[in-house]
Amino acid sequence: MNCYMPVRLFACDGAVVKNAEALRAMGRRAFIVCSASAAKNSGALDDALNALKGEEYEAQVFDGITANPRIEDVIAAGRAAHGAGADFILGIGGGSPMDAAKAVAVFAANPDMSEKEFYAKAWPIEPLPIGLIGTTAGTGSEVTMVSVLTDSSGKKHSIHDERLYARAAFGNARYMLSMKAESALSCGIDVIAHCVESRFSKKASALTRLYADEGVRMAIQPLERMLEGVNELTRTDFAPALSDLADDGFLTKDDVQALYEASLLGGMAINLTGTCFPHNMGYYLTERFHVPHGIASAAFLEDLLEFEDGISDGFYKQTGVKKARLIKLIRACTQLKNVFISPEELESALPRWQNNNSVRNTLGDVTQEDIRRILSKFVKGGIKL
């Protein structure tokens, strides 16, 4: 076992306000990285700005981060942070803004660095200190050394480096309530994906299995309740937020807190083990069909569970979650439409998984023929999820 996770984590109601000193300790000039609206709508941006209020502190906001953040936007933000003389980078939001913030910290210290040098981790100067405020239950990026970005060719890549750990991370489940419930469900199934993939990683250990098993156990009931609420309340002219589900009794405060904590456990698990083939195959669905990340990864979870069928009994026993229940949830969250590929496209895509780290990290020997068989469900005339 090789375990190093140096993040100072504050996960509680009022995390930012109660622990403002940990944020201020990173420097006087903050460069805040977020999306256009989520950080503001959740209340997290206001909490951060209030924590940095005072004559001795300055904060500049860059709100140009989108889902599946593009390397071009990250480079622009890094150069802006450098120009502003930032002391530290503060990412606020879900996985995309937090992953982007980690990379922004690299470019802020190395504004003239190329994309190629970034991915090669040839960073002449150490990244600026990083702070993170999580507002969703999904990636667990608060606790990881991972940044997932979309490169200039349109492909998603993950980069792992201990220099990308946050100095301090803050999480308040209350921030999640402003999310649209459908988006929260997509993020939430990513929690399940992280835990399940970590469980069947070749790098799994007794410690990571504890994280993964407990994460699934904590997340499944809140996700089932969330799914019920989405199905009951969604109308053509109304997309409910998590707060609407809570107001109508589908979710409790404890459900939201449990899901957020499960997200952190999933992040801790994959931080040590890495992911398996569903995540990297999910990248393809996101790039090609713009399927949201969590749903795209979960679309291949049932395939992973079937592939590991001979050794999965201990997983179901430890989580207390039966296989049929887990697969029912996965299927309900991954009802993809209009995701079809031609036989020719399938064959042309296969080389990207040759010697792929996530494929090789999966327990057992996943072959190209296995990948072809799994992807064939999306071939026109095949199985439609």
pLDDT in tens, 107-132: 999 999 999 999 999 999 999 999 99
Residues 368, 279: one domain? Answer: yes
Residues 164, 197: one domain? Answer: no
pLDDT of residue 381: 53
Q: Reply yes or no on whether the pLDDT at 40 is more than 70.
A: yes
Q: Is 129 exposed, middle or buried (0-12, 13-18, 19+ CB in 10 A)?
A: middle
Q: Reply yes or no on whether the pLDDT at 227 is more than 70.
A: yes
Residues 113, 260: one domain? Answer: no
377 CB neighbour count, 10 Å cutoff: 18
311 falls in which pLDDT band (50, 70, 90)? confident
In a domain, 57, yes or no: yes
pLDDT of residue 383: 43
State the residue range of the domain holding 86. 8-175
Number of domains in the chain: 2
In a domain, 383, yes or no: no
Residues 107, 188: one domain? Answer: no
Residues 128, 204: one domain? Answer: no
Mean pLDDT of 133-141: 97
CA angle 241, 244, 247 (to 5 degrees): 155
Taking a C-beta distance cutoff of 8 angstroms, is the pair 145, 160 a contact? yes
Q: Which residues of 29-52 are buried (b: 16+ CB within 10 A; e: fewer)?
A: bbbbbbbeebbbbbbbbebbeebb
User: Among the three residues 175, 197, 217, which one is the final residue of a domain in this structure?
Assistant: 175
Mean pLDDT of 94-110: 98
**What CATH number does the domain containing 272 carry?**
1.20.1090.10
pLDDT in tens, 61-85: 999 999 999 999 999 999 999 999 9
Residues 104, 71: one domain? Answer: yes
Residues 186, 326: one domain? Answer: yes
Q: Is 124 exposed, middle or buried (0-12, 13-18, 19+ CB in 10 A)?
A: exposed
Taking a C-beta distance cutoff of 8 angstroms, is the pair 45, 51 a contact? no
Residues 17, 137: one domain? Answer: yes
pLDDT of residue 382: 47
Mean pLDDT of 138-146: 97
User: Among the three residues 160, 175, 190, which one is the final residue of a domain in this structure?
Assistant: 175
Of residues 144, 145, 142, 138, the one with CA closest to residue 121? 145
Residues 271, 315: one domain? Answer: yes
pLDDT of residue 338: 83
pLDDT of residue 282: 97
In residues, how long is the chain? 385
pLDDT in tens, 320-351: 999 999 999 999 999 888 899 999 999 999 99
Element (H, E) at 291: none
The residue among 191 and 310 whose pLDDT is bigger is: 191
User: Among the three residues 114, 146, 175, which one is the final residue of a domain in this structure?
Assistant: 175
Q: Reply yes or no on whether the pLDDT at 280 is more than 80.
A: yes
Residues 229, 154: one domain? Answer: no
In a domain, 340, yes or no: yes
125 CB neighbour count, 10 Å cutoff: 11
